[in-house]
Amino acid sequence: MHAAAARSPGPDGTTWNVLTDHQEWMHGPLDLPTDPAAWYQLAAAGGWQAVVADTTHPIAHDIVTARTNRVPGRSAAWCSLPFAVPVLCALTTGPGVAALQTAVKAASAEGLPLKRMVVVLTSPGEGRMPPAVKAAATMLQSQVSAVVMVPFDPHIRSHGLAEANRLGRRTSETGAALVAAVLASAHRSWGDPLPPAPVPVDLSAAPVLAPARPAQPAPEGVLTP
């Protein structure tokens, strides 16, 4: 698994392991497992201590659909993983904040761990944050674990995270603040230091069961189960 992960240089000389298909962004998404437990199994098998899972499902739609069809929701499954801290992302625009507020209301109604969640508001361009966005961020601070503002970074707009070691200073500082907010949420929920996470059973180490012996005919007059 480590051999399959791409190495990406990060800030301050760090190295990130990135599981990617190396395709351009305009290519269609791969057919990947949707069960969050599958990704937890992958992370545990790889031995990574911290994993960032980038999901794209709309949380409010997922919650409403799950309740309507009376099936387990994907958002609830992600939240139920050991030591999982959900991070809700939205743009600092009117529609972006409105969608975020709807998602927060749906999560609250469904009983998802809102106090464990971290909200990230990302600026899509230069300029001041609209007053409506500031007001929404202030209101959300009392409902979630933390609200982090990510400034606009033209390098990310042009290159994404392909050259993460060249991020702007404000972007790197905000990234560190986001990591601190996620860790603080985890520590409030499960303690500091965090207890060891459960590790899925290694199938290669599982005991091999001997083949069943063929049934022998029972003597006449003896009852068998």
What does the pLDDT look like over 184-205, one tens digit per residue? 999 999 999 999 888 776 656 5
What is the pLDDT at residue 224?
31
Which range has the top average pLDDT, 97-111, 157-171, 206-220? 97-111
> 177: closest CA among 143, 142, 149, 135?
149
pLDDT of the residue at 203? 57
At 206, list the tokens.
């599982």
Structure confidence at residue 166 (pLDDT): 80
Q: What is the pLDDT of residues 71-109, one digit of tens each?
A: 989 999 999 999 999 999 999 999 999 999 999 999 999
Q: In the prediction, which pLDDT does 206 show? A: 54
First to last CA, the chain: 47
pLDDT at residue 219 above 50? Answer: no
Distance CA 165, CA 8 (A): 9
Mean pLDDT of 147-173: 84
**What pLDDT is stored for residue 205 in this prediction?**
58
Residue-level pLDDT at 216: 45
Q: Which residue has the higher pLDDT, 171 or 25?
A: 171
Q: What is the mean pLDDT of residues 150-157?
A: 87
Confidence at residue 202, expressed as pLDDT on a 0 to 100 scale: 65
Over residues 1-60, the pLDDT tens digits come to 888 888 888 777 888 898 877 777 778 777 888 899 999 998 888 888 889 998 888 899
Residue 5 is predicted with a pLDDT of 87
Instruction: Please give the structure tokens belonging to residue 127.
Output: 């300029």
